[in-house]
Structure 1
Amino acid sequence: MEQKVILITGTNSGFGWLAANSCAALGHTVYATMRDTKGRNAEKAKALTQQANIQVVEMDVTDGKSITDAIATIIKKEGRIDVVVNNAGIYAVGIAESFTEEDLDNILNVDVAGPWRIIRAALPHMRTQGDGLIINISSVAGRFSFPFQTPYNTAKFAIEGLTEGLHYETKQLGIDVVLIQPGAFPTEIFGKTATGSDTSVLEGYGDLAKVPEQIGAGISQMFEALKPDPQLVADAIVKLIDTPKGKRPLRTVVDPVTGSFSEIANTKVKEQFGHFLTAFGMKEMLG
């Protein structure tokens, strides 16, 4: 197995933490990025640096200079960057109208603009190499917009569009850009949920305003009963890294609870989109 130089964002918890450890255990060189490595994430950073093949790098996905500095550090040390895993994100739940423009900007800044900043910083190096892999962590909520998490869905729909377009644009350059669509898993993201700050609108929704809290309780019960394992997402990341270039699927669903309907949607859309690209003279981009 060829050893890769891998950058992973949001490694202080959840899928990022698991992916960093899983990739490092296979001998890949992992640059695990997170914010506040000397403050609230100091213990997580220390734990990762104690693992073989992992180096922790301070990086804030909302700060362009932070990103370019981190990637410059990797290039200086390694001479290349083979894989980027855009995992850092914010989850949001609540009545959509309660999210102000600032609330939405904060979510999109992390969940959409953040990956875009990193992609733009990494792509020049990958183009020079003629090789690279970018994995964007989306969600089944990037394919279907579940009620009461509309701002989050909006961000994931954007990641789907960003990734799908790039997938075809960069394939001819030797760079694969792909998605993973996880379902709901018991990770720390649910403990850092964003909510709308304009609570004045909630009264106008009556009993509907109570539904987000009820959904949260239902998700907790589902986790307790079915125990979906977040390691499945880390395993999917490893599998995509190990898959030969040009053979990686655009979308990989990882959802042991409700994954079948997402798989069906992906299959149907891929088929019809192939007809669309062919009609517009871009059949060669299908691979």
Structure 2
Amino acid sequence: MAAPARKPRPQHVLTVDSTQQLGPHLVRVVLTGDSLADFGAAEHTDAYVKLIFVDPALGLEPPYDLAALRESLPAAQQPVTRTYTVRAIDRAARRLTLDFVTHGDTGYAGPWAMTAQPGDSAVVRGPGGAYSPRPDVDWHLMAGDLSAMPAIAAALESLPSSAKGVVLLEVEAGADALDITAPEGVEVSWLVNPDTGDADFLARAIDAAPWPTDVSEGAVQVFAHGERESIKAVRRVLKQREVPRGSISISGYWARGRTEDVFQAEKKTPVGMIED
């Protein structure tokens, strides 16, 4: 018997409360709305939502029947979804904070975040998520690019004060580095890599990190997410260091030269797979 279809995560119709330029490639948008009081469970530090963009010329009011729209609309008017990690959720205050990586006018969500004004509407579906740092692990490695920063920052805030580990964050410019809170025993390094074509940059830094001798299950936990080719190189290093697969959270969040639609479509093809 086939498994029952998964119930779609709820849509939240929200309003922009404020925006803030955190760095040359990062914009913070705070959304508010009464439905955030019921915004899922706070189980994972890599919680994410999908922003839903529908052509305003259609004159539709959210929440949207996405299945019906995808069946009835021509390709040029199909709804667009973009995935973003939750930086913070305050259910009591009904506030959801998202950080957007931006590269000029490229894409949908980045340009929207750059031009968003208080009072603008936004529709998100979620949350999803799968990772939380284990408080009993001896050593944590968290690594990624700016797209992974919200999840890493949230994970660091959830760690006990006694936690130990290394955080490696790859950015294009030093101005992208932010002050993030971490336990005293966790070393946070911002690694400037202006050569966006160097997919092995982060992997080399991970390989050179001060690894503990014991990398067995329960001794080490790894969170590594970011650009797809970069994360493939990271996976190779983790295999060489014989880190157990069960101790690793790893995936590509995006792929250079691909729209999110193409990136998502490629996930189950050979080019899109992180694992060999």
> What TM-score, normalized by structure 1, do the two folds share?
0.35
